[in-house]
Amino acid sequence: MTSQYRVNYHLRAHKRDHLVEFIKGMLLTPFVLHAQPQPQPQPQLLLLDERVQEANAQRYAEIFASIEELIDEHRALQADGIAAYSRLAKLVPSIGTFFTPLPLRQAFGRVNLRERISARKHVPPSFNDIRRILNIAQVMAIAPQLKMVTFDGDMTLYADGQNFEHDNALTDLLISLLRRRIAVAIVTAAGYGDDAARYELRLSGLLKGFARAALRPDEVARFFVLGGECNFLFGCSPAYRLEYLDDSQYPASLRSWTDAQVQQLLDVAEADLAGCVARMSLDARILRKPRAVGLVPNAPLTREQLDECALSSQIALLKFQGSPKSQPCDVPIPFCAFNGGNDCWVDIGNKLIGVRILQQLLAAEPANTLHVGDQFLSTGNDISTRTACCTCWIINPQETHSLLSELEYVLAKNE
């Protein structure tokens, strides 16, 4: 039984976020002990429920306050270069960098007021509950010094494979950010080379929204699109058209990759994806682009099949570059192998590089930058941005709308 548990744990590791799992475990104890009161006479039951809800809210808030304290300690040791010795690092060894404090107790209070987590008797605080609380805490912390927000495209601003339509409810919220002198960038896996028209089609509703709002040239100049993870950068003209920008703004390490090296890496990825198709008898085709190669299904594939393809490609490319124990960001040519939801892609470069390009362009620091995306598992293409900036993990455009509405509220409150 123990052996089987270990197998299952390791096989599911790519579906876990260890900080969220740690917080979920901390919240489980008060739920089990206190969430379900003992049977009482009927006249006393309603009053007892109210008292239990209040007590549960207090216990949850205390736990979030304790985790907040652990993060503050970790950040203090981060500044001294010894974060590995923090209590939080011992409890969550994979923990990364925190660029801002996280007011978790306050964020829990705000989410609980709306969603009544503490009133639940049968369902403990879930992964999604904690993810949303972390998002709200991050928005509260970063709002006063926010300079730039970057977004994934599919399933963050619009439905998977769809376009940003003219009636998208996010338009006004994005315009509001630009008017507040906050840069907005879409960092997407979609790679159409330097063909601005293809990106304009995907974002036609947003660009028309800019025109309807009559955004000034200095306002639209703060809008960018970065395609192919980090390979194709576009700015926005006063005429609300996208214009391709050359790579002079890119870090030297990115410009140093030769086309021969890139194509050799893509050859390895293409061969591995073809091997996955043969090994699992997938009804899919392989599509090659100048800086990417993808597996595109002819019939829907399961999430597990796409995860297998992404992980297999990651391992093959790490072995090829001689660093099987490192991360895709740390090898000579960084790459991103990810499950796109309906397909699987391997891109040259990644969103970590993309965010850093924009930070360099706009003089934004990690503590001034927020990335919003839906792919923060190890088979996703947003996770690498955690090294470069603050992040918020959403699961659909509706959550993005809720998050930006919260950000708008906090920004207005701080004015």
CB distance 153 to 188 below 8 Å: yes
Is 172 one of the catalytic residues? no
Options 49, 72, 129, 152, the catalytic residue: 152
Pairing of strands 284-289, 148-151: unpaired
Identity of the residue numbered 8: N
Tell me whether residue 72 is one of the annotated catalytic residues: no
Q: Is 415 exposed, middle or buried (0-12, 13-18, 19+ CB in 10 A)?
A: exposed
Q: What span, in angstroms and rounded, lies between the C-alpha atoms of 332 and 321?
A: 7
179 vs 59: CA distance, rounded Å: 41
Closest residue by Cα to residue 96 from 415, 311, 387, 368: 387
Q: How far apart are CA 280 and CA 266, in angstroms?
A: 21
Catalytic residue among 17, 154, 347, 382: 154
Smallest Cα–Cα separation from 220: which of 204, 201, 237? 237
Measured between alpha carbons, how far is 236 from 250 in angstroms, rounded to an integer?
18
Distance CA 168, CA 206 (A): 8
The two structure tokens encoding residue 96? 């990364």
User: How many distinct helices (H) and strands (E) make up the chain?
Assistant: 15, 11
CA distance 390 to 385: 8
Angle at 65 between CA 60 and CA 69, to 5 degrees: 145
Residues acting as catalytic residues: 152, 154
